[in-house]
C-alpha cells in the first residue's frame, strides 16, 4: 500500500527486554501480503496463566469463538496470529480452519488444544489458507527466541504505519517484574474494542482470575476509551499472559495492595499502546484528548466523550485547525446523556471558550487558534450535572482516512 | 463557499402550486451570508392548525424551546426562519432574541405570540442579530405572495447545493387537497433528526392532534431514517400546517380510512424531501439505500440499517466503488441488535454475495462491481432472527465531505 508513516508516530520502537518464559517467532507465510512476515507464534512455558478481552461484535470471527472457549481454562502455551485475513464471516469453513490450526499447534508443541489461542486480522469473508500457517509451524518453533518482540509487532501489522510496543516494570513483594506489550490497529477502531490485536506478557506470577480482572479493568480505561472511526471490529483481541517465572507471592485478590504497583504499570502500558493506535489512526494528523467532567456518572462522561470523539464534524474541524466549539456542543447534545445546556463549559488548549451555556464575554480566539495548529489537541467539557468524569482519545478525520479506506479492502 | 452542485441533485426544482391560506416572503437581511436571501416569513390565514417534530438534542437552540412551547396550542399564524446563524448555545441572550422576534412578528401580523414559530440554522454560539430580522418584518409582510415556494426554499439553505421542494396532491372526501413542502439540510444529518429544517403546508382541514400524529409517524419513516454523518443538530425542525381552506370533513382519528390517501401522499412527500437531503449530503456522489430484513423488530432493523449507513468504513468503501461486504458484516455486528451470524445474507445491487454466514460459492463479483460504479447503490441485509424490517438512506463519505467540513464553520 505504501502508506506514509504517521506524523504522530513515536520516534522509535522501544527497547523491549526478554520476558522470562516467553519466546516468539515470525514468518512470511504469504497469507495476503507479499514479501513480509504475516504469522506470529508466541510460546509460553508451562504454568503460564492467561486472561483476555474479546470483541463484543455479534458477528465475531471464528478465532474469537475459539479464544472465548479456551480462556475458561486460564492456561496458555501459545498464541498463533496472522495478519492479512481475519477469517471472519467464513462460516463452517472458518471454524474448521481454526480447529486445524489449534490442533496442529498443540501437536507441534506437545500441549493440550485448550492451551492454544489464535487471532486473525485483515480482510473479512475470505477463507483463511490455514495450511500456509500449519505447514510453517515447525519452522516457527525452530526460530523461537525471547528477543523478538519488535519482529512480532511488525508481523501483526495491517494498515499500521509503525510497529507498536511498550514496556513497563513494577515491583511485587520487592521483586522486579517486567510487562511487555505489542499491539496493532489503525482503522476500524472503536470501543468494545478497537480493531486491534494486543498481546501482553509478564514474568510475574498472577492467577488467571486476577489476570482476567486486571485486563478487563485496564482495557476499559485504554482500548475501550479510544476511537478512530467508531467502527468496531469482528476480531478485536487483547490477551494477557503471566509466566510466573518471578517467584512473587500469589495474590488471589486483584485489589491486593501488594499488586498496586503492578496494576499501575499495567494500566500505564495499556494506555500507552492504546494511544499508539490512535497516533496511527488512518490519516491522523492530530492526537486529540477529550476530558469530560460534571457528568451524571463516569460511564455517562465516557459516553459523552466518545460522542464528541466520534463526531465527524468535530473531527473534520480539528483537521481544519478550526476551534469549532459549536460542534462540540452539538455532540454533547446528541450523546443522550444528561447535560445542563445552561451550565455547559468548554475549553480548548486550556482556554475557556464557553461557560454557563454561552461564549465567554470578550473571548479572544488567538491562543486557541494557536493551540489548534499543534499536533496535540486538548478539549475539556464540563456538562454541569454531577461528578462523573472520563477521558477518551481520538484523532482527526482527514483526506488520508478517505484515501486509505476508499481503496483498501480490509 | 462556492460549493459545486451535488451530482445527485434532481434535474429541477418542482413546479409548486399555491396552497390556499399560505403566503411567503424572503429577504436578504445580512445575517451572515452577503448578497443572498436569509430570512423567510411564512404567514397562514386564521384557523391554521400545526403539528411538528423537533430535535431531541439536549443542547437544543432557543428557537426549539420556543416551538416546543407554542406547539401546545396547535394554532399557527407565521413561521420566521433565518439561515446563517442557529442561535444555539447563546444562553439568555439567545432566548431574549427569540422573544423579541416572536413579539415583533405577532405585533406586525396582529396575532398572539403563541401563534408564531421560529427556526434558525447556521453557526452555533454566535449571538443572533435579531434586529436585522425584526426591522425587516414590515417589508416582508408587504412582499407576501402565495407563489414564492422556490424562493422560500432558497432562503433557508446553508451548505445545501440545491433548493429542496416537493408537492403532492390527495383526495379527502373526493375533494382534492395539496401538500407543499420545502427543506434544507446537507451535513450534520442524522436521525432524531437530521440538521434540517422542513416546512410542510396543506390546504386540507386537519385537527392539530391529527397533524401531530401524522407528522410524527411520517418523520419516523423519512427524516429519521436518513443519515449523512451521524451528527444530530441542535436546531432540527419539521413543522406541518393545515390551513383548512378545503372544506373536507374533519377527522379526529389519524387512522380514519378517509385520510388514507392523504397520509400516503404526505409520507411520500416527506420521504422525497428526506431523500433530497441525502442527495445533497456534503460531498455525496452516491445515494445509498440500505434495506434490512429478518430483524427482531422494525426498530431493531432500523438500528442495524443506521449502523451500516453510519459506518465510515462502509461509506468510504462505497465512495471507492468497492463492494466491501465484509464491512457491512462488521457494522451488523456492532449494532448491538440481535443477528444470527450463521444465517446472515447480504446482497448488493440485487446480487446475493453472502448467504447463511458465508460468501456464496463461486461468487462472481462482476455484476456487483458494475452496480457499485452507478450513482444509486442498494444494499440488502437479512439478519436471520425475525420479521422486523426497515429501510434507511445515506450517501457515501468522500473527500468532498472533508473539504467542506474542515473549512466551514457551521
Across A105-109, B354-358, B399-403, least confident range: B399-403
Q: Which A residues, 170 through 209, put their C-beta within 8 Å of a C-beta on chain B?
A: 187-188, 190, 192
Could you give the CA distance from residue B312 to residue B229 in angstroms, rounded to a whole number? 8
pLDDT band at A1 (very low <50, low <70, confident <90, very high): very low
Residue B162 CA, chain-centre distance (Å), reads 14
Q: Mind telling me how many Å the CA of B346 is from chain A's nearest CA?
A: 11
Instruction: Write the pLDDT tens digit of every residue in A198-228.
Output: 999 999 999 999 999 999 899 888 888 887 6
C-alpha to C-alpha distance for A189 and B245, rounded to whole angstroms = 56
Interface mutation target, options B309, B326, B336, chain A, most CBs of A under 10 Å: B326
Average pLDDT of the segment spanning A17-34:
95
Rounded to whole angstroms, the Cα distance separating B337 from B350 reads 24
pLDDT tops 90 at residue B331? no
Domains and CATH numbers, chain A: 22-279 (3.60.70.12), 287-407 (3.10.20.340)
Give the pLDDT score at A123: 80
ipTM for the predicted complex comes to 0.71
Q: Which CA distances in Å does A393 have to A223, A225, B186?
A: 10, 6, 28
**How big is chain B, counted in residues?**
410
Residues sharing a CB contact under 8 Å with residue B94, sequence separation 6 or more, in sequence order: A358, B61, B62, B87, B88, B127, B128
What is the model's pLDDT at position A312?
A: 86
pLDDT at A405 exceeding the cut of 90: no
Quickly state the pLDDT bin for B183 (edges 50, 70, 90): very high
Catalytic residue among A195, A202, A285, A293: A195
Instruction: Among B357, B401, B409, select the one facing A324 at the smallest CB separation.
Output: B409
Which of A311, A330, A342 has the CB atom closest to B91's CB atom?
A342
How many whole angstroms separate alpha carbon B171 and alpha carbon B97? 41
From the list B91, B92, B344, which residue is nearest A59 (CB)? B344
Q: For position A192, what pLDDT does the model report?
A: 36
Taking the CB of residue B345, how many other CB atoms lie within 10 A of it? 18
- For the segment A52-104, what is each residue's pLDDT rounded down to a tens digit? 998 877 778 889 999 999 999 999 999 999 999 988 888 889 999 999 999 99
Q: Tell whether A296 is within 8 A of chain B (Cβ).
A: no
pLDDT digits (tens, 9 = 90+) for A176-190: 999 999 999 865 444
| Residue A265 dihedral angles phi and psi, to the nearest 5° | -65, -40
pLDDT surpasses 70 at B289: yes
The contacts of residue A100 (CB under 8 Å, 6+ apart) are: A130, A131, A134
At A339, the pLDDT band (50, 70, 90 cuts) reads confident
Task: Judge whether A394 is closer than 8 Å to chain B, CB to CB.
Answer: no
Task: Compute the mean pLDDT over every residue in chain A, rounded to the nearest whole number.
Answer: 90
Give residue-wise pLDDT tens across range A361-399: 888 989 999 999 999 999 999 999 999 999 999 999 988
| The pLDDT value given to residue B408 | 53
Which pLDDT band, with edges at 50, 70 and 90, does A229 fall under?
low
* Cβ–Cβ below 8 Å for B59 and A94: no
Task: Band the pLDDT of B233: cuts 50, 70, 90.
Answer: low
Q: Hey, is B137 helix, strand or coil? A: helix
pLDDT at B231 over 60: no
A325-334 and A312-319 helices, crossing angle to 10°: 160
A contacts of B96 (beta carbons < 8 Å): none
Residues near A25 by beta carbon (within 8 Å), at least 6 away in sequence: A40, A41, A43, A140, A141, A142, A143, A144, A145, A148
Amino acid at each position: 500500500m505504501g502508506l506514509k508513516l504517521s506524523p504522530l508516530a513515536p520516534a522509535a520502537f522501544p527497547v523491549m527486554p526478554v520476558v522470562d518464559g516467553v519466546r516468539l517467532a515470525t514468518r512470511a507465510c504469504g497469507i495476503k501480503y507479499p514479501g513480509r512476515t504475516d504469522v506470529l507464534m508466541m510460546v509460553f512455558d508451562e504454568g503460564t496463566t492467561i486472561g483476555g478481552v474479546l470483541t463484543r461484535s455479534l458477528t465475531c470471527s471464528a478465532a474469537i469463538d475459539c479464544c472465548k472457549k479456551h480462556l475458561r481454562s486460564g492456561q496458555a502455551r501459545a498464541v498463533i496470529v496472522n495478519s492479512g485475513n481475519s477469517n471472519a464471516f467464513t462460516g463452517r469453513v472458518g471454524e474448521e480452519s481454526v480447529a486445524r490450526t489449534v490442533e496442529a499447534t498443540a501437536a507441534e508443541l506437545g500441549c493440550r488444544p485448550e492451551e492454544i489461542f489464535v487471532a486473525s486480522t485483515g480482510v473479512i469473508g475470505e477463507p483463511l489458507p490455514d495450511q500456509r500457517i500449519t505447514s510453517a509451524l515447525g519452522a516457527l518453533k525452530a526460530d523461537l527466541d525471547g528477543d523478538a518482540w519488535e519482529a512480532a509487532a511488525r508481523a501483526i501489522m495491517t494498515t499500521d504505519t509503525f510497529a507498536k510496543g511498550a514496556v513497563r516494570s513494577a515491583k511485587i513483594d520487592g521483586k522486579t517484574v517486567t510487562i511487555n506489550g505489542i499491539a496493532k490497529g489503525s482503522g476500524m477502531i472503536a470501543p468494545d474494542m478497537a480493531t486491534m490485536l494486543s498481546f501482553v506478557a509478564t514474568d510475574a506470577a498472577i492467577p488467571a482470575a486476577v489476570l482476567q480482572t486486571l485486563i478487563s479493568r485496564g482495557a476499559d480505561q485504554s482500548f475501550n476509551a479510544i476511537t478512530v472511526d467508531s467502527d468496531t471490529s469482528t476480531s478485536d483481541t487483547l490477551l494477557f499472559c503471566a509466566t510466573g517465572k518471578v517467584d512473587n507471592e500469589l495474590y488471589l485478590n486483584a485489589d491486593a495492595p501488594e499488586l498496586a504497583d503492578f496494576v499501575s504499570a499495567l494500566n500505564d502500558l495499556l494506555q500507552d499502546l492504546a494511544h499508539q493506535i490512535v497516533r496511527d489512526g488512518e490519516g491522523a494528523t492530530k492526537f486529540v484528548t477529550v476530558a469530560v467532567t460534571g457528568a451524571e456518572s463516569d460511564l455517562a462522561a465516557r459516553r459523552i466523550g466518545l460522542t464528541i470523539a466520534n463526531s465527524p464534524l468535530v473531527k473534520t474541524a480539528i483537521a481544519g485547525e478550526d476551534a469549532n466549539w459549536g460542534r462540540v456542543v452539538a455532540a454533547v447534545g446528541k450523546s443522550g446523556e444528561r447535560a445542563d445546556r445552561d451550565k455547559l463549559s468548554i475549553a480548548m488548549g486550556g482556554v475557556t471558550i464557553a461557560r454557563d451555556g454561552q461564549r465567554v464575554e470578550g473571548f479572544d480566539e488567538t491562543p486557541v487558534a494557536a493551540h489548534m495548529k499543534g499536533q496535540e489537541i486538548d478539549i475539556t467539557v464540563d456538562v454541569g450535572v454531577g461528578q462523573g468524569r472520563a477521558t477518551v482519545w481520538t484523532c482527526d478525520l482527514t483526506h488520508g482516512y478517505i484515501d486509505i479506506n476508499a481503496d483498501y479492502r480490509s
